[in-house]
Amino acid sequence: MNWLTKFIKASEKIKTAIRKRASKSEIAASKYISCHGVPVEKKIIEQNNFVCPECNWHHFLSPSQRFNMMFGDNNWKEIKGAMVRDIDPYKWEDTKKYTDRLADAKKKTGQDCAILSCEAKINDIDIVVSAVNFSWIGGSISMNEGENVLKSVQTAIDKKCPYIFFSGSGGMRMMTNMLSLMQMARMTVAINELKKNNLPYVVVVASPSTGGLQASICSTGDIIIGETGATMAFAGKRIVQNTEKTDLESDFQTVEWQMKHGQVDLVLDRKDIMPTIGTLLSILLKKHPAQDQTSEEDDDSNESLTVKTKEAS
């Protein structure tokens, strides 16, 4: 076989692969999903909290699906942040107008911005929770998302309760440039205020967690929990590989790898995350059933906190 025959055969293979690949709309319309090389009914995965029962792959979960799973359907109260009036100050347009992208994201997700926040209860403890929706322009962070975090943290401070943050973001939103980057500092200052009030801050790293959000408030949790298999990084694996010119481990930038290197405290399956957070908060807030009797006397809510918080840098 000469080089020309090899080349023709290779190009035929590529053409076949491209032809056979299903489109995004075909994948969305299909009743099946393939995460371990064998089709699995989407219904079966949905019934299992969007986790494949065969290979344990944790599929995407929107914030409202996550809140319903954790607290029961509609058993949570949404927190809305202030909405910025001029959302497109740079009049951004690439292959599409930014304002059109915003309208599409709102229609697709039913959310006003990429972050959905709520008040809820776990183990009878009041909590404030925020979660990022990756379907909202890649879970990117801009002014409205910053406002949502600020409002949520303020709510937690007012209620003297812990704040839980579920990440899942590509980073800061390029369409709003410096105004997006500023949110890293604003949100970090808000988290510092939470810590000054001795209120626990728990981060759950869901996939993918990259860029500016990971480089700001997702790295400053008192406890950082990784959801099984999630990607946690600043720059992507390929960029690091090209810069370092070295082979990287196969699990590089997974939460399991980050735990081995001290960036994550725990890696948990989705079903175990809320029970574990409940237990941790019960201990931190001295609300553990075994400690209830002894802590009742001095249980003046916030004053009983003994959690030692780290100052965010």
Taking the complex as a whole, the smallest distance from the CB of residue 166 to Zn ion amounts, in Å, to 22
**Which residue is nearest to Zn ion, using beta carbons?**
52
Taking the complex as a whole, the smallest distance from the CB of residue 55 to Zn ion amounts, in Å, to 3
CA distance 306 to 285: 7
**In terms of CB distance, is 22 or 82 closer to Zn ion?**
22
Taking the complex as a whole, the smallest distance from the CB of residue 35 to Zn ion amounts, in Å, to 3
Is the CB of residue 202 less than 8 Å from the CB of residue 194?
Answer: no
**In terms of CB distance, is 48 or 68 closer to Zn ion?**
48
Residues between 238 and 297 that touch Zn ion (CB under 5 A): none
**In terms of CB distance, is 49 or 304 closer to Zn ion?**
49
Output the six-digit token pair for 214: 């990971």
Residues between 152 and 211 that touch Zn ion (CB under 5 A): none
Instruction: Using CB under 5 A, count the residues that bind Zn ion.
Output: 6
Taking the complex as a whole, the smallest distance from the CB of residue 68 to Zn ion amounts, in Å, to 22
Taking the complex as a whole, the smallest distance from the CB of residue 50 to Zn ion amounts, in Å, to 11
Taking the complex as a whole, the smallest distance from the CB of residue 270 to Zn ion amounts, in Å, to 14
**In terms of CB distance, is 40 or 131 closer to Zn ion?**
40
**In terms of CB distance, is 33 or 218 closer to Zn ion?**
33
C-alpha pair distances (Å), 55 with each of 38, 39, 61, 228: 10, 12, 17, 12
Q: Which residue has the tokens 């948990």?
A: 268
**In terms of CB distance, is 50 or 163 closer to Zn ion?**
50
**In terms of CB distance, is 35 or 182 closer to Zn ion?**
35
Report the amino acid identity of residue 84. Answer: V
**Strands lying side by side in the sheet with 115-122:** 77-79, 115-122, 125-132, 163-166, 201-205, 223-227, 266-268
**In terms of CB distance, is 36 or 121 closer to Zn ion?**
36
CA distance 89 to 80: 22
Taking the complex as a whole, the smallest distance from the CB of residue 37 to Zn ion amounts, in Å, to 8
Residues between 29 and 68 that touch Zn ion (CB under 5 A): 35-36, 52, 54-55, 57
Taking the complex as a whole, the smallest distance from the CB of residue 255 to Zn ion amounts, in Å, to 18
Region of 28-36, 125-133, 208-216, 280-288 interacting with Zn ion (CB under 5 A): 28-36
- The site for Zn ion (CB under 5 A) is made up of 35-36, 52, 54-55, 57
